[in-house]
Chain A
Amino acid sequence: MLGTKTRTATRPAIRADGLSKRFADRAAFEGLTFEVAAGEVFGLLGPNGAGKTTTVRVLSTLLPPTSGTAEVAGLPLGAASASEIRRRISVMPETPGLYLRLTVRDNLEFFAGLYGLSSPEAHSRIVQALALVGLTDRADDPAGSLSKGLRQRTALARALLPDPAVMFLDEPTTGLDPVAAVEVREIIGGLRDRGATVFLTTHRLDEAERLCDRVAIVNTRLVSVGRPDELRRRLFRPALELRLGRPLPDPATLFGAIRGVDGWTNGRGSGAYVLDVTDPEGAAPEVAKTVVGVGASIIRLAEIVRSLEDVYLELVEDER
């Protein structure tokens, strides 16, 4: 079945070690070191010009690296193994790359042929891929007659054809309207559930948060890599947001006396405070009991959940 893989603890699907790419005197990216496990959805996040697309192009053998080494789908990156690596992977570039005068099926048949699939095998994989992206009934329509979202789904179907060990998806939802973006995201989510290894570049943080097991944040250099929750923990201390009906007369004394509260700052607005804590679950009841004890009325008391966007902004801002 297309895109269905068994997760096993084998060698990484991708391993980059000090990988760099320069164009003349400009570095597209430098010293990238990371690993992507088999069956993992790995996100490469970064602002425009951070080197995300070039990283995909280098790992998919389209461009040679300037320095460093990498292994993709079990093979060392290099001219000698380029064709074999390309046989084991698939790439969905930012633009769908379809022949608009050809039908969806013609497009898929062409690419199946380039992957060396026999005619019956190609037919069966095309049927499965079209079903997976929900395009069975549009198979005989010219690709040029499809909406942007449907073209992107066709491109995903094409990427699924070779049943690749690694799928590279470069900004798969860029330029799509929200509905089409959700549809494409659902398909990628489905691939994740099937255990496919996906290397995804995006600058949509909600997308990365929802789809990726781990993310790497790049800005020509690797800024950080880890699970989204891990990055959050690494960058931000746990904190509670406290909003009261009225400002406290002496918050320093009050918060200083609460066990589990390590520090505090004023929040946004009158009567709002941010309390640094080590254990939010343990500290929250103590905070509630203490502030209620001095006659304050609590409007809100909750743990501050940092989004990947906060992580990203923090890291990328630090880089600037």
Chain B
Amino acid sequence: MSPKIRTVVRKEFREYRRNRFIVFTMAAMPVVVLLILVGETFALPDRIPLAALRRPVGEALLFLQLIPVMLPTTIAAYAVIGEREQGTLETVLTTPVTDRELLAGKAIAAILPAVGISWLLFAVYVGLAQLFAPAVVVAQIWTPNQAVAMALLTPALAAFAILVGILISLRSTDFRVAQQLAVLASLPVIGLVALVTFRVVHPSAVLYAAAAGVVGLMAAACWHLASALFSRERLLTRFGG
């Protein structure tokens, strides 16, 4: 990572720490999701048939994949438009930082907490499940397939959601609109994930890896589009490409 990207990441982390709204949403959403997961799956009877497990476990696994998509939308939508709203964008753009370095720093600073919190949440959920959930539920959650999903699909989903958010942030004039659009733009991907978590499409490590690859490619396309659409003129005035 280039020193300038590191500088942007460090500054973003400092801003998160000092912004109660961001700290609160980053902490509150995983806690709420964990409570839902526990409520949905831990009270299930020991001898529940596999077919009856499909909905609660499907929901639980979907929620786990929702975290990396939903958690960073605020941060991603705020990435560029937030700088403009607080009057710092012009100052940053007058420095030698390149468009790509700035975008990369913003994206990495959003991806790292999103993925880290998702993995932490999964680890806590699995740990609690081992202790308190029926064995049949643990067997559905703690599987090699799910491990592959968390290892590959979670970062890919986070990257995609964040880059979509940044892309929208580059072209929006209002932060709230950018945030709404970023959430909406991620929904189709979540729908595809739901097909797997609800076993409409049978999950496998290969499927998860392939899905991660496809989402990763979509994220890469968003990255290139964001880099191409980054217009200093348009960001500072309403003109330009």
Taking Cβ atoms with an 8 Å cutoff, the residues of A that contact B are 23-24, 57, 60, 62-64, 83-84, 86-87, 89-91, 93, 95-102, 106, 110-111, 113-116, 142, 155, 158
Q: Which residues from A are CB-within-8-Å of B233? A: 62-64
Q: Which residues from B are CB-within-8-Å of A89? A: 94
Contact status B10-A113, CB under 8 Å: yes
- Name the residue of chain B whose CB is nearest to the CB of A161: B95
Contact status B91-A91, CB under 8 Å: yes
In the complex the two chains form, what is the Cα distance from A83 to B86 in whole Å?
A: 24
- Name the residue of chain A whose CB is nearest to the CB of B237: A23
Known A24-B239, A91-B91, A97-B87; judge A115-B96 contact (CB<8 A).
yes
Known A63-B236, A101-B18; judge A93-B94 contact (CB<8 A).
yes
* Contact of B15 with A by CB under 8 A: yes
Q: Which residues from A are CB-within-8-Å of B10? A: 110, 113
- Name the residue of chain B whose CB is nearest to the CB of A170: B90
In the complex the two chains form, what is the Cα distance from A98 to B83 in whole Å?
A: 10
Q: How far is the CB of B90 from chain A (nearest CB, A)?
A: 5
Q: How far is the CB of A102 from chain B (nearest CB, A)?
A: 6
- Number of residues on chain B facing chain A (CB within 8 A): 30
Known A62-B232, A63-B237, A113-B10; judge A97-B4 contact (CB<8 A).
no
Known A100-B86, A113-B4; judge A63-B232 contact (CB<8 A).
yes
* Contact of B92 with A by CB under 8 A: yes
A to B CB contacts below 8 Å, 20 in the list: A23-B239, A24-B239, A57-B90, A57-B236, A62-B232, A86-B94, A86-B95, A91-B90, A95-B87, A97-B92, A99-B88, A101-B19, A102-B11, A102-B18, A110-B10, A113-B10, A114-B8, A114-B92, A114-B95, A155-B91
* Contact of B14 with A by CB under 8 A: yes
Contact status B3-A99, CB under 8 Å: no
The 8 A-B residue pairs with the shortest CB-CB distance, nearest first, are A113-B7, A97-B91, A91-B94, A114-B95, A101-B18, A87-B96, A95-B87, A110-B11
- Name the residue of chain A whose CB is nearest to the CB of B91: A97
Supply 14 further A-B pairs (C-beta < 8 A) apart from A91-B94, A114-B4, A142-B18. Answer: A23-B237, A23-B239, A57-B90, A63-B237, A93-B87, A95-B90, A97-B87, A97-B88, A97-B91, A101-B18, A102-B11, A110-B11, A111-B95, A113-B4
Q: Which residues of B212-241 have CB atoms within 8 Å of chain A's CB atoms?
A: 232-233, 236-237, 239-240
Contact status A115-B19, CB under 8 Å: no
